[in-house]
Homo-oligomer: A and B are copies of this chain.
Amino acid sequence: MQLSHAARSAESSAIRDLLRHADRPDVLSLAGGLPAAELFPVATISEVAGSVLARADGLQYGLSEGDLALREIVSDGDPENVLVTTGSQQALDLIGRVVLDPGDPVVVGDPCYVGARQVLLANRAELIGVGVDHDGLDVDELESHLAGGLRPKLVYVVANFDNPSGAVLAADRRARLAALADAHDFLIIEDDPYGALRYDGDPVAPIPGDRVLRLRSASKTLVPGLRVGWVSGPQFVIDAMVIAKQAVDLHTSTVSQAIVRELLLQPGWFDQHVAGLLPWYANQRDTLVAAIAAHLPAAEFHRPDGGMFVWCRLPGSDTASVLTDAVEAGVAFVPGSAFAVDRDLTDHLRLSFATVAAAQLPVAVARLAQVVQPG
């Protein structure tokens, strides 16, 4: 009895091991993308859950599309165009299932969010990495691939505060990307878990056009444990995803959906809640950035305007090779190689400012400095 080809070639990955690192109490973890638990709206969730759980019909089987009232709240008008997913990770899987045949090319940033890479590979995509700079995906490079004959079915971007690069895809690149999608008949996945977490500057409008599958999530602004995300996009893709979702898990937890619905239904509550997160995260970012400047003077990075991550280059380092020593020294991070598609990102690393308390961030970076620039 042999496992499937997909299972034999699956990477036992990254995020999984990271969550284990993050669990050790003696390790300050700059690795995980865990939002700060002290900001979770615990009291409000308990309150709305009381009414949700008091009704038996909220505990029954539900529709594969998701709770209609929730879809109405998060839609831009047409709830039929929205599918509720078990976190936006599931949206990526469902898109892979309904769009990709084995070997179909998919363009991703290089570096790329590890969860996207993992699920796209599980759906037998052929990944093509395109460079990322401070303005996001290098659309020139994409265009030259297209001119060279590449015909991707999907282009995946985290357009706001990319994981891991922290970059925001510039408005002109968004417009060009949309035009390329029209010209070359591909779909764009705009994964947007961090968009609301902007600490500086003005928001950039979403990628235009009607070829965008937009993924959103309750994980970063509300709580991750509920596993509630949603996706909107071209109707024929959403319709196929609903059928696929029925096969894979029938529907997302009705209790989780109802809690998110009730939170979003409270007038003004969500905006006020997010407004409360911003100064806290901004201070975290500033503290981490200052600690990097102080302890790792050779580090090259851009201060991100939002999100959770600082993407650093440490010229001459091999960040993966020092990870074990770093954990031993009481600090965890994600080495650049974990995000690499085709490029050599050995000398990069991703540092999260979301999880560790501000007072401990300089301690964490000082520990890291001891390991990457010993003596």
| Contact partners of A256 in chain B: CB under 8 A | 253, 255-256
Other-chain contact of A122, B90, B97, B185 (Cβ < 8 Å): B97
Query: CA A58 – CA B153 in complex, angstroms?
Result: 38
Other-chain contact of A57, B37, B45, B59 (Cβ < 8 Å): B37
Q: Is A277 an interface residue (CB 8 A)?
A: no
Shortest Cβ distance from residue A212 to the other chain B in the assembled complex, whole angstroms:
13
Other-chain contact of A254, B62, B104, B225 (Cβ < 8 Å): B225
Contact status of A6 and B98, CB under 8 A, knowing A12-B243, A86-B249: yes
Query: CA A6 – CA B99 in complex, angstroms?
Result: 9
Query: CA A39 – CA B59 in complex, angstroms?
Result: 11
Other-chain contact of A10, B11, B224, B240 (Cβ < 8 Å): B240
| Contact partners of A13 in chain B: CB under 8 A | 243, 246
Shortest Cβ distance from residue A111 to the other chain B in the assembled complex, whole angstroms:
18
| Contact partners of A6 in chain B: CB under 8 A | 97-98, 101, 244
Q: Is A100 an interface residue (CB 8 A)?
A: yes
When the two chains form their complex, are residues A54 and B37 in contact, meaning their CB atoms are under 8 A apart? no
Q: Is A1 an interface residue (CB 8 A)?
A: yes
A 11-48 binary contact with B (CB < 8 Å = 1; else 0): 11101100100000000000010110110101001100
Shortest Cβ distance from residue A44 to the other chain B in the assembled complex, whole angstroms:
10
Query: CA A189 – CA B55 in complex, angstroms?
Result: 34
Other-chain contact of A246, B16, B64, B86, B255 (Cβ < 8 Å): B16
Other-chain contact of A244, B7, B40, B153 (Cβ < 8 Å): B7
Contact status of A59 and B225, CB under 8 A, knowing A49-B49, A244-B10: yes
When the two chains form their complex, are residues A101 and B250 in contact, meaning their CB atoms are under 8 A apart? no
When the two chains form their complex, are residues B247 and A118 in contact, meaning their CB atoms are under 8 A apart? yes
Other-chain contact of A4, B4, B37, B98 (Cβ < 8 Å): B98
| Contact partners of A37 in chain B: CB under 8 A | 56-57, 59-60
Which residue in chain B gives the minimum CB-CB distance to A61?
B224
Shortest Cβ distance from residue A214 to the other chain B in the assembled complex, whole angstroms:
17
Q: Is A115 an interface residue (CB 8 A)?
A: yes
| Contact partners of A58 in chain B: CB under 8 A | 225
Which residue in chain B gives the minimum CB-CB distance to A47?
B53
When the two chains form their complex, are residues B98 and A247 in contact, meaning their CB atoms are under 8 A apart? no
A 213-253 binary contact with B (CB < 8 Å = 1; else 0): 00000010001111100000000110010111011111111
A 91-130 binary contact with B (CB < 8 Å = 1; else 0): 0010001111100100000000001001100100000000
When the two chains form their complex, are residues B56 and A40 in contact, meaning their CB atoms are under 8 A apart? yes
Which has the most chain B C-beta neighbours within 10 Å: A104, A219, A242, A248? Answer: A248
26 A-B contacts (beta carbon < 8 Å): A1-B187, A7-B99, A7-B240, A15-B246, A16-B242, A16-B243, A34-B61, A37-B57, A40-B59, A40-B60, A42-B54, A46-B53, A49-B49, A58-B225, A86-B253, A89-B247, A90-B248, A93-B249, A225-B253, A226-B253, A227-B249, A227-B250, A227-B252, A227-B254, A253-B255, A255-B259
